[in-house]
Amino acid sequence: MTRSPDPSPQFSRRRLLGLGVSGGSSLLLGGCALNGLSEQVGQASEPLNQRLEVLLQGRGPVPEFRPDQVDPAALLINSFNGTPRLDPASYRLRVEGLVSRPLQLDLTALSALPQYGVVMRHVCVEGWAAIVAWSGVRLADVLTLAEISPLGGYVEIESADQYFESWDRASAMHPQTLLATAMNGAPLPVANGAPVRLATPIKLGYKLSKWVTRLRVVSDLGVRRGTWEDQGYEWFAGL
């Protein structure tokens, strides 16, 4: 049975702005405009952005949408370097780094773990959004199975299309962060990241890697932070 964490009230960016905490939306969305003076403002405001976003994220599960609110046509398809086609029979998700039990999980092993669903709004930094129903395993469950080290503060994510991401530990362990294998009640389409992609309502769309093949737990952020973050996008990218 697909299970979803019970939503609970929490602050949203809109409410935070209404309270005047941020001093302006540019502080929260510094990563959206990436040229000229706006880039300098974004870089200066990012530490404040991240502190505020961590505060919001710590309020508990994000309220979810109803299944009848899903709009499949609204989810646009894009890729960084084409659309890779991974053989489901030979697919393995590697979990390495600061873990006591390195893993290579096939799809059967992933399906044997508890399955959860999240009906969430997928928000793209380009300005569009779509309500999508994702289901799969919690990233937290996979990291727990690998016995993540207390020293592991970050998770690097590699994809078959050479896309690269890195997340903070708390976001990776969030109960609504999934390694999704299904979308809108059907197997995950190749164009949307099959066989495994990230899905969560707490991050902007460019953090939600598709065609995920490797998770590496590390103690610190490396020189590479992410495919788009290395070009100026905000690293935390929380919602």
What domains are there in the chain, each with its CATH number?
64-231 (3.90.420.10)
Q: Which residues contact 62 (CB under 8 A, 6 or more apart)?
A: 7, 10, 120, 176, 201, 202, 239
Radius of gyration of the chain (CA): 17
Distance CA 17, CA 28 (A): 9
Question: Which residue, among 116, 155, 151, has the nearest Cα to 137 in the 3D structure?
Answer: 116
Distance CA 220, CA 168 (A): 9
pLDDT band at 56, cuts 50/70/90? low
Percent of the chain with pLDDT over 90: 71
Q: What is the pLDDT of residues 166-225, one digit of tens each?
A: 999 999 999 999 999 999 999 999 999 999 999 999 999 999 999 999 999 999 999 999
At 5, the amino acid letter reads P
What is residue 51's predicted lDDT score, i.e. its pLDDT? 55
Mean pLDDT over each residue of the chain, to the nearest integer: 82
At 203, the amino acid letter reads K
pLDDT band at 54, cuts 50/70/90? low
Least confident of 27-36, 66-75, 135-144, 149-158: 27-36
Distance CA 238, CA 226 (A): 14
Checking if the pLDDT of 15 tops 90, the result is no
Task: Please answer whether residues 205 and 163 qualify as being in contact, where contact means their C-beta atoms are separated by less than 8 angstroms.
Answer: no
3-state secondary structure of 115: coil
Task: Please answer whether residues 68 and 115 qualify as being in contact, where contact means their C-beta atoms are separated by less than 8 angstroms.
Answer: no
What is residue 59's predicted lDDT score, i.e. its pLDDT? 56
Least confident of 18-22, 68-72, 116-120, 168-172: 18-22
Checking if the pLDDT of 14 tops 90, the result is no
Q: What is the pLDDT of residues 90-107, one digit of tens each?
A: 999 999 999 999 999 999
What is residue 150's predicted lDDT score, i.e. its pLDDT? 97
What is residue 156's predicted lDDT score, i.e. its pLDDT? 98
